Amino acid sequence: MDNAILKRLREWFKKNAAELPWRLADLDAPRDAYAVWISETMLQQTQVSTVRDYFVRWMKRFPDIKALAAATEEEVFKYWQGLGYYSRARNILKTAKIICQTEMYGSRRQRLQDDLVARMPQTRKELEALPGIGAYTAGAILSLAYHQREAILDGNLVRIFSRLYALDFLPTDKIKRDGKSASEIYWNYAREIADSPKAYMHNEALMELGRTVCKIKNPDCEKCPLQGACKAFAEKCTANFPPAKKHIQKDWHGTVLVIESADHKILAVHGGQKFFKNQFTLPHFESPRHATAGLPAQAEAYIDADLVTSVQHVGNFKHNITVHKMDCDVLHICLKTKAPQHSAPELRWVKRSEASDFFANSFCLKSLALL
């Protein structure tokens, strides 16, 4: 891409950059690496409009890596609740602990008012070695925070490159063109954009362009600063690029158990579940539709059937997790005894009044809302 087009891209961005809580007013100023890491991780699979409030709330509670590293997984999940893909939150916490504890980052700590401030690594190799930080996030941190000539490649850039160069394949496709893989071709275009002292601005401008102008549907080509270089626009076929991604959707029907003790505590389980295996959740299992009569055998893994006073089907809800399109029945199971004072480590009894704060995913909250 020639310098004249890149200049138009920069000028467009300076006029049209949206005000975002993770974006500085001075677009040329280096950004905080921690803020870049958190915002870009939140933005994976999630719209900007949704992430805004989550980011502000997160940064108030965890203003730096050290504050985050000191948190529990349960608290981190609470502040992530509603963003989905909870492995992202778990990896964020793991990485914060590694940065604060591992000796390899000790040289990057600076003493400030008798305290230690943990710093993000400044090389791609070190960043990509951390949990949850892949090629895109590493590039964003190095580019936006440290102003290095590092490339990024997210869904917005994939769409723009596909239209600019009329690429009828996606980076994930198993194809070869001129001896290069699909991924290599896209990343080479990204590196070309980043081979500039203004790489940070080119990268962020393209993300903004993809979000607001070069959209998936109905792109506003007349406002695009790259219009003159776009092959898809010249051939009047932007709707054909990028090619549609094949989604494999899996229908899943299940039953969710809300087991409540006589002293109004809800049973939470950790592990052994189809979804949310590594966090506390309500017991759930795959089941035929409308198979809700009586106490299901799966409930007896957690409670004694002789202690049950009632089993009520309280409703049904729909939910999506990755490729799973879910249809869930909810059973409210009441016990005649109080919650035990001591339970196995994988079980926890939570006060019903505190359950909405305890369960850190909308799957559980939809179930509880039916009570």
Task: Round to whole Å and give the CA distance between 32 and 62.
Answer: 14
Q: What are the tokens at 147? A: 């102003």
Catalytically active residues are 40
